[in-house]
Structure 1
Amino acid sequence: MPSPSPTAAPVTILVDADACPVKEEIYRVAERFGAQVRVVSNSPFRVPVSARVKRVVVSDGFDAADDWIAEHADARSVVITADILLAERCLKAGARVLKHDGRAFDAASIGSAVATRAIMEDLRAGMDGAHGGPPPFSKADRSNFLQALDRVMVELRR
């Protein structure tokens, strides 16, 4: 695999870590591509001992982790999150954004995702707490994520 151009800034993977089921996969891909990883959360997580991987523990204030990620996102960043509003902020900063199942948020999809989120929030509010969660995370989701992250890293390397 060719190394990145010497003038290109390294890619940084920013992980919205609190509910991220693919952290181990992110570490492996980052190592393969020489990327930096920032694991951002409100409480400490175990991270590998690596010069590439840094744990960022922010205050437990509302949206503190999201704010940190959005402030550090740029065109050389890949943000891993399922948070639609954080994804929107990061896309505006020029970052690439992937969900844990490998689906990408992009300029074409974020508007409808934000609108759908608002509709679902209204529907849940009217259901008096009777609601289901997302479907279980599957092996196919994990595989799709790995393929998507690999594809994004190859694109950013060019």
Structure 2
Amino acid sequence: MSETFQPIVVYVDADACPVKPEIYRVAERHGVKVFVVSNAFLQVPQSLLIKRIVVSSGFDAADDWIAERARRGAIVITADIPLASRCVKAGADVIGPTGKPFTEASVGMALATRDLMEGLRAMGEVTGGPRPFSQKDRSAFLSALDVAINRLKRAGFGSGAP
């Protein structure tokens, strides 16, 4: 099967994803299959397009499941920077829940910043976490997901609708 005739799929790193309802709405509108991947049972809508995947509770089990399937034509939704890096390298489009796309150019800087902040937190220099998720973030995410799906459709990838 030619790469350009593969369906668009969305993989969601779902355990702490704040935009799952938005993903479901966009997927239904575009006829795109969504895999909701988590370490525990999560409620998902009854739809032929939405499939729940519960992996073992092993360290990085959900990340590994997603990374093994990431490819050109796939969209990965995650805030996990190491997972984003693995998926970008595999050719997938990767979007954070705030709508920020991860690219080959940005993921290296994101990993370096993550490591720096982790070190500063370990030394007690930084005690706060990320800013609260906002309506602006939600809107930016919706736009980024819509743009990614439309770009893949223009590149010849199809919907995953049954």
Range class of TM-score, shorter chain? over 0.9
**Which of 118, 136, 139 is residue 140 of structure 1 equivalent to?**
136
Q: CA deviation at 1:31?
A: 0.8
**Within the alignment, does 1:154 sit opposite 2:112 as a pair?**
no
Which runs of at least 4 in structure 1 moved beyond 6 Å after TM superposition?
Answer: none
3-state SS, counterpart of residue 19 of structure 1: coil
Between the aligned residues of both structures, percent identity stands at 60
In the alignment, structure 1 residue 118 sits paired with structure 2 residue 110? no
Partner residue in 2 for 1:131: 127
Q: Answer whether contact 1:10 1:34 (CA < 8 A) is retained.
A: no
Find the aligned partners of 2:132 and 2:8 in 1 and give their Cα distance: 30
Partner residue in 2 for 1:81: 78
Cα distance in structure 2, aligned partners of 1:85 and 1:121: 13
Deviations 1:134-155 (A, max 9, x none): 1111111000000010000000
Contact 1:29/1:150, CA 8 A, preserved across alignment: yes
The alpha-carbon deviation at position 9 of structure 1 amounts to 1.5
Alignment partner of 1:108: what SS?
Answer: helix
User: What CA distance in whole angstroms lies between the structure 1 residues aligned with 2:70 and 2:31?
Assistant: 18
Deviations 1:31-71 (A, max 9, x none): 11111100000001000100110000000000000000000
RMSD, aligned CA: 1.2
Local SS of the residue matching 1:135: coil
Amino acid corresponding to residue 6 of structure 2 in structure 1: A
SS across alignment from 1:127 = coil
| CA shift digits 1:71-129 (9 cap, x unpaired) | 0111011000000000000001100000001010001101111111111111111118x
- 1:19 matched to 2:11? The reply is no
Structure 1 unaligned spans of 5+? 1-6
Write out aligned runs for 1:36-115 (5 A): 36-115=33-112
CA distance in 1, matches of 2:80, 2:17: 11
Using the size of structure 2 for normalisation, the TM-score is 0.90
Separation in structure 1 between the aligned mates of residue 32 and residue 85 of structure 2, nearest angstrom: 23
3-state SS of paired residue (2:130):
coil
Q: Give the residue type in structure 2 aligned to 1:139.
A: Q
Runs (5+) with no aligned partner, structure 2: 155-162
Give, in whole Å, the separation in 1 of the partners of 2:27 and 2:112.
32
